[in-house]
Amino acid sequence: MAVKTVQAIVNGVTTNLTLNSSTGKYEATVAAPSISSYNQNSGH
């Protein structure tokens, strides 16, 4: 018996990860946060 779904909590949001049987990896569709340090130019 294989685990087919996993829940991960990222930044307080519970995300369901589903096993992709063809790649053997867990995958999820995650919306990008509206506020992210990735888009902020703070000089770092």
Tens-binned pLDDT, residue by residue, of the chain (44 aa): 567 888 888 778 888 888 888 898 888 876 666 665 565 666 55
Q: Which tokens sit at 39?
A: 């888009």
pLDDT, residue 14, reads 85
pTM of the model: 0.47
* φ, ψ of residue 3 in degrees (nearest 5): -75, 125
Residue 9 is predicted with a pLDDT of 84
CA atoms within 13 A on the CB side of 12: 1
Strands of the sheet containing 25-27, edge to edge, are: 5-10, 13-20, 25-27
pLDDT value for 39: 57
Nearest to 28 by CA among 44, 14, 11: 14
Give the whole-angstrom CA distance, residue 14 versus residue 19.
Answer: 16
